[in-house]
Amino acid sequence: MSPTSALPTWLADALGSLAAGDLDGWMSIYAPDATHEFPWAAEGAVRRLEGRDAIAAYMSRLPEVIEFGPFTDVHVREAGDETIVQATGHHRSPDGTPRDLGYIWFITRRDGKVTRIQDYMNALPGSE
């Protein structure tokens, strides 16, 4: 399938929930046995979360680190239960400093629920 420039509805809704501080809304996309991986995480940082409880515990701390904003430069490719997303997130640090992050997500779903996310993110040049 050819790429699109719009996030799938299920992902856009979940990201909107995360931005609004609605952890339950974000977690609704995950299967109970899901994994969320951060392959580019710094040495000593979390690289793999296993299960909804571990993912929820990690995500519940995000408001201390980042305020989620809109996503631009979105490119999505879907094939069956596989989704690849490339996007730029325009976020803020808790002190209001702009924080632009480049993302590439490899997402696998089963029966409509995420079973695995490989979450590649990197601060973009010029982002504080």
19-28 pLDDT, tens per residue?
A: 899 999 999 9
Distance CA 59, CA 49 (A): 10
Q: Is residue 100 part of a domain?
A: yes
43-90 residue pLDDT tens: 899 999 999 999 999 999 988 899 999 999 999 999 999 999 999 999
Check whether 124 has a pLDDT greater than 70: no
Q: Is residue 128 part of a domain?
A: no
107-116 residue pLDDT tens: 999 999 999 9
For residue 66, give its domain range. Answer: 9-123
Q: Is residue 78 part of a domain?
A: yes
pTM of the model: 0.89
